Amino acid sequence: MHANHGLTLPAGHHYALTWGLPVEFVGMTAALLHRSRCFVELTGTPVTILTLAPGDYDSVRAELTRRDFLVD
């Protein structure tokens, strides 16, 4: 878990929803990933990213983690 910088989010589960999560992305997807990572890093609160499009998300997750867009 990442350090808590004195910031908190309300108790409960926190989700981010997007249409799909391609390996190559810009704009709104980049903002979603950045915002979700900030929540994790600054508050220690996990964020689950949900998508509406089917896909091989194990490989996408591995690639985005390798490229430092996702954290545990």
CA distance 52 to 71: 21
pLDDT at 50: 94
Confidence (pTM): 0.80
Q: How many CA atoms lie within 13 A of 56 on its CB side?
A: 4
pLDDT in tens, 24-44: 888 999 999 999 999 999 988
In this structure, what are the phi and psi dihedrals at residue 37, rounded to the nearest 5 degrees? -65, -40
